[in-house]
Amino acid sequence: MKNLKLWALCAIVAGYLTSCQKEDISDTTVEEVAQQPSKSQLEKLSNMGVNTDNVTIEDIELPDGSKEKHLVSGDITIPINDLKKYAELTSLDGNNKQYQSDYIVAPAYRNIRVLGWTGAGYDLTSKMQTALSWAVNNYNALPNTLNFTLTFGTDQSQADMVIYKLNGAAGGSAGFPTSDGKPNRYIRIFSGLDAYNTNVVEHVMGHEIGHSIGFRHQDWFNRWSCGYTGPLPAEPSVSPAAIWIPGTPWSPYEDSIMLACFGASEDGEFTSSDIDALNILY
């Protein structure tokens, strides 16, 4: 549920997040009885470059109280009714290590209006509102084509992204841009995150926004940041794989806000590789 690490933002276009403490690793997804996806749904997710090891179908609550069925993989949520709208990854000619997809925000939609929800029951806490402001400022400080405008309230009619609070363990969840180039619309921040300091909340906010504009976890292939202790591959062997962004380093180590899990000492700021990845892509 959170993220941007070189591969963070880098190898992670089109991504997702799973927010965990490194000291006390725990998935940030809300626990509930979940349905199992069909074979065709899993094949579609795989062709999108989404990890399909533990995919469930869950009813995701929206800030107006309605619910939508989503395919959930960690902190990645894809609405079932829109699944066909998501493009599949295709190998670049002459290079089987890099992949291309439509999971970035198209030029026409890069002035992104962000709404921090303040309506009763789903309202962001004061700490969350401050952290969201800091995260948006981090994006706006970069010299690229993305521009975020942040407001707080309950009028969704003019919003491209709506960020709201749900009850649950610390973390958040988000989806990817759609195949027509629009950013992911809904970002959920779970109430347990308010127990952490503002910098940690800023980190998760920035991570989920990263997913919503097309980035996935740097360690998507083994969730290294969540406590994986097995051997690290020289490079991911999954096909299709997450997109590696040319001009950024390939690394399985911690150098991005887009790691699958987070710790209590996060500062909420982009790393140099995060900045390179954002500026290269946008």
Neighbours of 141 (CB within 10 A): 9
Distances (CA, A) of 5 to 14, 193, 248, 278: 13, 21, 10, 11
Give the Cβ contact number of residue 145 at 10 Å.
12
pLDDT tens track for 124-164: 999 999 999 999 999 999 999 999 999 999 999 999 999 99
Euclidean distance between CA atoms 208 and 21, whole angstroms: 16
Sign of CA pseudo-dihedral 74, 62, 38, 241: negative
Mean pLDDT of the chain: 77
Confidence of residue 64 (pLDDT cuts 50, 70, 90): confident
Q: How confident is the model at residue 266 (pLDDT cuts 50, 70, 90)?
A: very high
Would you place residue 278 in the very low, low, confident or very high pLDDT band (cuts 50, 70, 90)? Answer: confident
Residue 26 has pLDDT above 70, yes or no: no
Q: Which fold has domain 4-31+87-281?
A: Collagenase (Catalytic Domain) (3.40.390)
- For residues 33-60, average pLDDT: 80
pLDDT at 68 over 80: yes
Which token pair is 175?
A: 């989806």
User: What pLDDT is attached to residue 140?
Assistant: 98
- 45: its two tokens: 């997710």
Please report the DSSP string for 188-238 in residue order: EEEGGGGGS-HHHHHHHHHHHHHHHTTB--TTTTT-GGGT--SPPPSS---
DSSP-derived pairing of the beta strands 67-73 and 56-61? antiparallel
Q: Is 133 helix (H, G, I), strand (E, B) or coil?
A: helix
* Structure tokens that stand for 199 in this block: 């910098």
